[in-house]
Structure 1
């Protein structure tokens, strides 16, 4: 085996979700035809929205990127090889020998994958010392190279853009539960695309109505999801409980997610019978309307020089009106998705 094998053309895709950003180049390297909107629609990022008040910006992708993803990843047409270690009070601690064994097996799997031209995905592949020195490779990153002599991986991350190396057995201790997780792509398997698309639409409706997951079970605590999250955001704006920067960040991420929602619905619409296809196309138009409202909100935020202040009274009212408009469009889009599901032939459900 070669001393070193680099995947020069592979890099994470841009976007807020580090899972989608690393999964996309992995699948692309394997020759799979998955667009970013299709991935975000399938896993749910495109249709989600969460809100919590009081602790800074909301990590919109968290509960999908390292929790709900496990529901969907078995259904996208590939086997996946997962290597995980969790150190917390809920589970007995693995022995040092068990930890080393898992990391050794991971090393062999990752090397084999890179030799095939396919990157692996790793959770926060940085040592504590690297993190403390300024490496901010939080979330998922791509393992694109290895050095047999140094026993290191080369890491590329979509937000921390400086490529770096990490010892293969020295990461997995930079988050609260000491999660070590590396995912490799296995063999191709049958994909029921229609069933997966229907499931993604059902999940879109569940996100909107706040039933996709129970808030008390979420590993990343939020106060509300879906329509209720919009209402909570609006109330916080009305009271002056959130600053301009908080709202601008939430609006920018929502803008990205709903662009993916509209694109995903247009991508899959022609796969369905005519009545369902029309309803999905109509839903995409309503997401376009929502995006227009969100862009207005971003522009209102950009008019403020200080992002750490609350909105002036006049701007606050405009912001509330725009969130109302975005929510109204969101509700119309979801109604159309519900209609699309309702008119599906019984054999498709």
Structure 2
């Protein structure tokens, strides 16, 4: 961990609104925060969610910390509280709990007296929660009043009667001479307007702070390019690094091999077309950057169905901070099931500039980030630059095995690695195969496994000795997997004319052969790792 003086300097910069300083704190404290969270929840994947939430909360509440040198103890307590609240949330009770708010516990966490880690805390050593909640309620009341002023006179009266008289929809309909459905429509419109106002207000506050710090108002980078027809996250990172690599470039095979993209398999129930690129993007993004020796930050996960105004502003800050360093931000789901780049922003217009894998350019409003389209979960990855040399081959091989064995954050309705083959074959056996999803997945995996074979063959040549023989054998297995997928793709699902013939039998045998070859390749790699 960094010493207190360095930490205090960073904290002071974050308090002044320096985005780069906040990202440095995230980089320095992420591993420790994960450890603190795991102590509470005993779940490495839930801990990832908790840490992301704790960093956002930390940034918002940092002003309450008077002694910047006590940041580590203060933040540790915040992570632990967030973890405890997550446990309570999983049990169905969303009320926050504060088992660590006593003077004794605060002192234990800080390693000192009751007030050693909270310069602005009361005598119990905890955060000023009651005052913060009162202020938040006042802000909400002001926001609601702003929304009411934008509604028609009758709508305002209906809502006030509902709030202050505790009137039921039936009573409101009778009092104002309208149908009950009209009352519900008023409620619905008010909720929408209130939600829009919350996001707009938070973005306006954020932009006001940027202006006060005299930050760049608008910046546009050169349009990104795509060297691969499919948007693998590792290839996206490689393209982005070209902006700051001083001419040094990764090959697509190296990027996909070291990151594990070449060996990835995600399958949704029925082989739905969204399955191949639905995985825990933040977890994978951090793992990929670590193995490539890259420093950066991620935010966003699949199967999250909402976004808060604070999270939206955080996404915007990551995007702008990345572009200000001359690198486009990687983003997912601005268009459904697509990775793309944000390569420009304009505070005056309140818009970002987006370039998708389909080569289409669009602009999106700041306050609509994460709130558009059919797929709410938004993911952003911001690169700071190259930090160190990539990890050695053994680390990449271990990651390959971990994925094949399903050792990554689980998602409901999805299977990974070798289990993904089983789910895929099950869809074929039961007649529930999504034809377009199958074709899409086969096309991507045909390219990915070709890269996998090339990467392992390259490792074999560089390793020499007995490792060379084992790695070459694993490469041959993945070469066979790639060939099976290439044979499967052209015949399905196009050109049937309504008759499947024996195509399902061909698909079954092709998938089974790919599964067996990949299982053999993984077993060889596991054996090599045991002797490494």
**For this structure pair, what is the TM-score category when the shorter chain's length is used for normalisation?**
0.7 to 0.9
1:70 equivalenced with 2:258 (yes/no): no
What are the Cα deviations for residues 201-250 of structure 1, in whole angstroms up to 9, with x where unaligned?
A: 12222333x3323xxx523531x333333234334323433254343233
3-state SS in 1 of match to 2:492:
helix
Q: Using the alignment, how far apart are the partners of 1:181 and 1:53 within structure 2?
A: 23
Report if the CA contact (8 A) 1:227-1:327 is conserved.
Answer: yes
3-state SS in 2 of match to 1:146:
strand
Q: CA deviation at 1:158?
A: 0.6
Q: Using the alignment, how far apart are the partners of 2:315 and 2:481 within structure 1?
A: 46
1:226 equivalenced with 2:417 (yes/no): yes
* Corresponding residue number in structure 1 for 2:479: 288
Name structure 2 gaps, 5 residues minimum: 1-214
Instruction: Please give the TM-score of this superposition, normalised by the length of structure 2.
Output: 0.51
1:325 equivalenced with 2:325 (yes/no): no
* Corresponding residue number in structure 2 for 1:129: none
* Corresponding residue number in structure 2 for 1:171: 369
What are the Cα deviations for residues 116-174 of structure 1, in whole angstroms up to 9, with x where unaligned?
A: xx22223434xxxxxxxxxx364432122334643432211113x21122234431223
How do residues 156-167 of structure 1 correspond to structure 2 at under 5 angstroms? Answer: 156-159=355-358, 161-167=359-365
3-state SS in 2 of match to 1:29:
coil
3-state SS in 2 of match to 1:142:
strand
3-state SS in 2 of match to 1:60:
helix
Q: Using the alignment, how far apart are the partners of 1:9 and 1:186 within structure 2?
A: 19
* Corresponding residue number in structure 1 for 2:84: none
Where is the helix percentage greater, Structure 1 or Structure 2? 2
* Corresponding residue number in structure 2 for 1:112: 324
3-state SS in 2 of match to 1:193:
coil
Name structure 1 gaps, 5 residues minimum: 126-135, 345-349
- From 28, 32, 35, the equivalent of 2:242 is 28
What are the Cα deviations for residues 169-202 of structure 1, in whole angstroms up to 9, with x where unaligned?
A: 43122378955554332243223521xx322212
1:278 equivalenced with 2:278 (yes/no): no
How do residues 128-139 of structure 1 correspond to structure 2 at under 5 angstroms? Answer: 136=335, 138-139=337-338
**Cα distance change on mapping 1:280 and 1:5 into 2, 3 Å:** same
3-state SS in 2 of match to 1:212:
coil
**Cα distance change on mapping 1:244 and 1:179 into 2, 3 Å:** closer
**Cα distance change on mapping 1:55 and 1:108 into 2, 3 Å:** closer
Q: Using the alignment, how far apart are the partners of 2:269 and 2:403 within structure 1?
A: 19
Report if the CA contact (8 A) 2:291-2:396 is conserved.
Answer: no
Q: CA deviation at 1:45?
A: 2.4
Instruction: Please give the TM-score of this superposition, normalised by the length of structure 1.
Output: 0.75
Report if the CA contact (8 A) 2:460-2:469 is conserved.
Answer: yes
* Corresponding residue number in structure 1 for 2:55: none
Report if the CA contact (8 A) 2:270-2:434 is conserved.
Answer: no
1:141 equivalenced with 2:141 (yes/no): no
Q: Using the alignment, how far apart are the partners of 2:301 and 2:510 within structure 1?
A: 44
Higher Rg = 2
3-state SS in 2 of match to 1:164:
strand
Report if the CA contact (8 A) 2:261-2:448 is conserved.
Answer: yes
* Corresponding residue number in structure 1 for 2:460: 269
What are the Cα deviations for residues 279-326 of structure 1, in whole angstroms up to 9, with x where unaligned?
A: 2222222212222222222233256425xx6833x3322222222222
The number of equivalent residue pairs is 316
